[in-house]
C-alpha cells in the first residue's frame, strides 16, 4: 500500500520484547482497506484514533504524499505519542504531516471525512469514539476501524450501529478484520462518564471509556484500600504521596482523605485515566488536593521526590499477559522515592514479584494476602 518500511518501526519508549510488536496485521489491513477505497488520496481530511505506535499515521502520511493536509492523531498512551514521533524520525517521515492531540476532543475529528481507527478492546471506549465522530466529523465521513479477531466481538458492530447508518465487516485477513462505518445518525448525544459509589470506601469512582475496570472497584485496588488507614498511620502527615499508574484515581483520593496535609499526585500515561482521575477527585471534593499528571511511568516527577508510592500495576501489555509494565513501574517507583520512602504495591500473587521488588526497590514485607492478590511494602534503600 505504501513505501513505508514497516521493519523500521519500534515500540520504544514503550516496553519492548520479541513477542511484542510495533505493527500488526490490523494496522496493515486498515491502511489497505482505506487505500483501496481511495480514502488516502491527497485532499482527504484524515484523522487517526488509537494508533498504537504510529503505523497508521505514518502509513497515511506516506500514502498522501507531500503537500497533503495535516493528519490529526489521538493516542491514549503517552508512550504511543512518543513512539510515533520517534518512528517518524526513524522512517524519514516529515513530522509536519501530522499533529498529535493529547485528549480525545472534538478538534481531533472536526470536519474529517476519513477516520482510521484501531479498535479499542473496551466497548465503552468505542462508544465514546463513535459518538465523537458522529457529532463532529464531516457528514460524509468514512470510518475504517480494525482490530485483531481475538479482541473483536459482534457487539462492536452494535456500538457503531447506534451512531452510524451503515456498518459493514470485511473478510478476515491474517486474523484481523475491519469494520466500515458511514452515515452519522442525527441527534447523537455527547459521551458522558461512568460514576459509581464505592460504599465500603465511602468514595465516588468516575471513569471515561477505556479505563481499566471502569467505575467498578477492581479487586486488587480493594485490597490496598482496605489497608489505607494503616498505610496512612505509618506516613508522615506532610508527605508527598504518588498514585503511580493511577487509573481512575481512587487510591489518590483515599490517600488525600487519610492524609489531609499531604501533597498527593495521581499520574498515568493514559489520557483516559488522567481524565477519569480528575473526575474522581472532583466528585469527592478533592480537586484542589490532588495534582493529576499525564506522564509515562511518572517521568514528569523528580528523582527522590516522593515519600510514599501507591501502585496497582497492570499484568498485561495491550492484549498480551506480560510483566514488563510492572517491572517498568517498579523501577520508576525506585527512582521517585526518597531514601527511606515506601512503595506499597498490590499484585497478582501468581506473578511472584517479591524478589524483584527486593532487588529493584529494597527490603520488602508482606502486608496482606488474599486468594488472588498480595500487598507488599518495599522500603527504598
Place 19 in a pLDDT band, splitting at 50, 70 and 90: confident
Q: Closest by alpha carbon to 210, among 333, 89, 98, 74?
A: 74
Alpha-carbon distance values, 343 to 144, 295, 324, 334, 346 (Å)? 43, 18, 18, 8, 10
CA angle 209/213/218 to nearest 5° reads 155
Write phi, then psi, for 123 (nearest 5 degrees): -65, -35
The pLDDT value given to residue 143: 98
User: Which residue is it, cell 522515592?
Assistant: 337
Mean pLDDT of the chain: 94
The pLDDT value given to residue 67: 61
The pLDDT value given to residue 319: 53
Bridge partners, 242 (sequence order): 265, 309
Identify whether the C-beta of residue 253 lies closer than 8 Å to the C-beta of residue 291. Answer: no
Q: Which whole number is the average pLDDT over 234-262?
A: 97
Identify whether the C-beta of residue 46 lies closer than 8 Å to the C-beta of residue 116. Answer: yes
Separation between Cα atoms, residue 135 and residue 112, nearest integer Å: 11
Q: Closest by alpha carbon to 347, among 378, 322, 311, 319?
A: 311
pLDDT at residue 1 greater than cutoff 60 = no
Place 334 in a pLDDT band, splitting at 50, 70 and 90: very high
Separation between Cα atoms, residue 261 and residue 126, nearest integer Å: 39
The pLDDT value given to residue 183: 98
**H helix runs in the chain, sequence order:** 25-36, 55-64, 78-91, 123-136, 154-163, 219-226, 228-233, 250-258, 271-283, 324-336, 354-360
Identify whether the C-beta of residue 375 lies closer than 8 Å to the C-beta of residue 224. Answer: yes
3-state secondary structure of 143: strand
Q: What percent of the chain has pLDDT over 90?
A: 87
Separation between Cα atoms, residue 203 and residue 325, nearest integer Å: 28
Q: CA 150, 210, 47, 144 torsion: positive or negative?
A: positive
Total residues found in the chain within this entry = 381
The pLDDT value given to residue 48: 98
User: Which residues, other chains included, contact 167 with Cβ-Cβ below 8 Å and sequence gap of 6+?
Assistant: 157, 160, 161, 179, 180, 181
Separation between Cα atoms, residue 281 and residue 274, nearest integer Å: 11
Bridge partners, 168 (sequence order): 180
Q: CA 281, 283, 287, 288 torsion: positive or negative?
A: negative
For residue 218, the Cα-to-chain-centroid distance in whole angstroms is 17
Separation between Cα atoms, residue 49 and residue 293, nearest integer Å: 22
User: Which residues, other chains included, contact 2 with Cβ-Cβ below 8 Å and sequence gap of 6+?
Assistant: 31, 35, 59, 62, 63
The pLDDT value given to residue 66: 61
Place 16 in a pLDDT band, splitting at 50, 70 and 90: confident
Write phi, then psi, for 192 (nearest 5 degrees): -105, -155
For residue 364, the Cα-to-chain-centroid distance in whole angstroms is 29
Q: Which whole number is the average pLDDT over 324-334?
A: 94
For residue 295, the Cα-to-chain-centroid distance in whole angstroms is 11
Place 210 in a pLDDT band, splitting at 50, 70 and 90: confident
CA angle 215/83/191 to nearest 5° reads 30
Q: Which whole number is the average pLDDT over 329-341?
A: 97
Separation between Cα atoms, residue 307 and residue 309, nearest integer Å: 7
Separation between Cα atoms, residue 267 and residue 146, nearest integer Å: 30
Q: Which whole number is the average pLDDT over 230-245?
A: 97
Amino acid at each position: 500500500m505504501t513505501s513505508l518500511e514497516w521493519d523500521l518501526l519500534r515500540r520504544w519508549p514503550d516496553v519492548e520484547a520479541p513477542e511484542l510488536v510495533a505493527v500488526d496485521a490490523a494496522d496493515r489491513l486498515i491502511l489497505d482497506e482505506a487505500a483501496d477505497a481511495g480514502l488516502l488520496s491527497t485532499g482527504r481530511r484524515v484523522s487517526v484514533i488509537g494508533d498504537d505506535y504510529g503505523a497508521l499515521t505514518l502509513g497515511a502520511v506516506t500514502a498522501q504524499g507531500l503537500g497533503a493536509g495535516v493528519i490529526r492523531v489521538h493516542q491514549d498512551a503517552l508512550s504511543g505519542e512518543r513512539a510515533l514521533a520517534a518512528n517518524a524520525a526513524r522512517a524519514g517521515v516529515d513530522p509536519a504531516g501530522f499533529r498529535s492531540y493529547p485528549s480525545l476532543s472534538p478538534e481531533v475529528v472536526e470536519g474529517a471525512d476519513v477516520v482510521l481507527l484501531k479498535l479499542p478492546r473496551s466497548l465503552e471506549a468505542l462508544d465514546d469514539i463513535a459518538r465523537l465522530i458522529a457529532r463532529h466529523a464531516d457528514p460524509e465521513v468514512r470510518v475504517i476501524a480494525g482490530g485483531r479477531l481475538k479482541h473483536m466481538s459482534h457487539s462492536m458492530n452494535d456500538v457503531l450501529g447506534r451512531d452510524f447508518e451503515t456498518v459493514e465487516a470485511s473478510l478476515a485477513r491474517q486474523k484481523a478484520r475491519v469494520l466500515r462505518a458511514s452515515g452519522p445518525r442525527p441527534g447523537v448525544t455527547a459521551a458522558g462518564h461512568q460514576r459509581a459509589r464505592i460504599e465500603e470506601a465511602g468514595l465516588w469512582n468516575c471513569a471515561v471509556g477505556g479505563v481499566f475496570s471502569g467505575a467498578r472497584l477492581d479487586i486488587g485496588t480493594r485490597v490496598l484500600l482496605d489497608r489505607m488507614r494503616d498505610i496512612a498511620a505509618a506516613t508522615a502527615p506532610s508527605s508527598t504521596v504518588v498514585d503511580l499508574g493511577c487509573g481512575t484515581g481512587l487510591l489518590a483520593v483515599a490517600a488525600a482523605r487519610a492524609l489531609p496535609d499531604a501533597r498527593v499526585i495521581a499520574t498515568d500515561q493514559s489520557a483516559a485515566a488522567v481524565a477519569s482521575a480528575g473526575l474522581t477527585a472532583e466528585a469527592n471534593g478533592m480537586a484542589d488536593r490532588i495534582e493529576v499528571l499525564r506522564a509515562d511511568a511518572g517521568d514528569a516527577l523528580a528523582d527522590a521526590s516522593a515519600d510514599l508510592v501507591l501502585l496497582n500495576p497492570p499484568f498485561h501489555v495491550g492484549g498480551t499477559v506480560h510483566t514488563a509494565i510492572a517491572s517498568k513501574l517498579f523501577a520508576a517507583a525506585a527512582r521517585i522515592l526518597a531514601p527511606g520512602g515506601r512503595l506499597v504495591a498490590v499484585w497478582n500473587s501468581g506473578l511472584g514479584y517479591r524478589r524483584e521488588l527486593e532487588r529493584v526497590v529494597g527490603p520488602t514485607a508482606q502486608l496482606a494476602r488474599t486468594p488472588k492478590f498480595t500487598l507488599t511494602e518495599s522500603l527504598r534503600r
